[in-house]
Structure 1
Amino acid sequence: MEKGWILLGALLSISFGSDAQINSKAYATMLDALYKKTVPLMSVATLQKQPDAILLDTRTKEEYDVSHLPGAKWVGYDEFELNRVADVPKDGNIVVYCSVGYRSEKVGEKLMAAGYQHVHNLYGSLFEWVNEGNPVVNGQGKPTQRVHAYSRLWGIWLKRGEKVYE
């Protein structure tokens, strides 16, 4: 099934060219097909109005070290364990994100199953955050333009920042 979504993303990128915008109909269609919608979605605009949000980055440590949302805590995806969020209140306003929102949805499901009450998946995730002109910081907490684009296939959706693939 995941291969089907990757193929859909590739076909959409070919159909709409490399200039497709993150807020394009093609990207929205791909995201809507990719998400199971088991975790409520939150837009970038809504997140910006939530100063109390607890941001959890579900990408690899290498991706997180390249750049992440300011104040985000790395929790990982393959290596995610609930003990990484033991300090996060069960009633906290939690927003999970990854590159586009697939991995974060899976971690969000685990959080909800563990009793976390207010979990949201950032719609479009890091790519949309950056494409809308919002800042990211590196592993040392310093502002950066570098963004881990996950892979060249998925990197087509990242329109701002300096793409990093390693």
Structure 2
Amino acid sequence: MSFKRGLTALSAFILVCTGILTGCATASPVDDVNLPAVQNISVAEAKSLIDRNVVSADFIILDVRTPSEYAQGHIPGAVNLDYYASFEASLSAFDKTKTYLVYCRTGNRSASAARLMLDNGFAAIYNIQGGINVWISGGLPLET
């Protein structure tokens, strides 16, 4: 095979491979923009979300702190699901189609919990940035 013919064959091969790779990349029906994601929201946004959904059975507030932290005061209507006590295993009991507002003391555990929920197929997850500490400093209501 001559050098020129070999170069032409190699060029054709590269063009075919490039076309296949780019064709696959652009033909994908998945749009990353529309994939579910955790929405990190402020305390003010969380309060507004709660106020808009207070009577909805499709809206659940999850407090992922320990039971003793929860007992000291929590957002009214919140369900306690301790992040450190088999949180992921307990998720199977929850409806993945509902909307969840997740919080902890500072926002770290709830961010991890929200990611686990997302990885387990939950679609609508909101995480309160700063957690209940910021909620309390904003003078918002608690129940015990």
In the superposition, the TM-score normalised over structure 1's length comes to 0.56
Deviation at 1:118, TM superposition (A): 0.7
The answer on whether the counterparts of 1:77 and 1:103 sit within 8 Å (CA) in structure 2 is: yes
Task: Look up the match of 2:39.
Answer: 40
Contact 2:38 2:124 in 1 (8 A): no
The match for 1:63 is 69
1:134-145 aligned at under 5 Å gives the runs 134-138=140-144
Residues in 1 aligned to 2:78 and 2:90: alpha-carbon distance in whole angstroms = 13
Q: Separation in 1 of the partners of 2:91 and 2:142? A: 22
Superimposed CA distance per residue, residues 69-114 of structure 1 (whole angstroms, 9 cap, x where no aligned partner): 1100111111133453444321211111111100111111111110
What's the counterpart of residue 136 of structure 2? 130
Runs of 4+ in 1 over 4 A off after TM superposition: none
Distance 2:120 2:91 in 1: 11
- Residue 81 of structure 1 pairs with residue 87 of structure 2: yes
TM-score by length of 2: 0.63
Q: Unpaired segments of 5 or more residues in structure 2?
A: 1-36
Structure 2 distance, partners of 1:88, 1:44, is: 24
CA distance in 1: counterparts of 2:99 and 2:69, whole angstroms? 24
Q: Flag the structure with larger Rg.
A: 2
SS in 1 for 2:38: coil
Between Structure 1 and Structure 2, the one with more helix by share is 2
Gaps in structure 1 of 5+ consecutive residues: 1-37, 139-166
Whole-angstrom CA distance in 2 between matches of 1:70 and 1:88: 19
* More off after superposition, 124-133 vs 86-95: 86-95
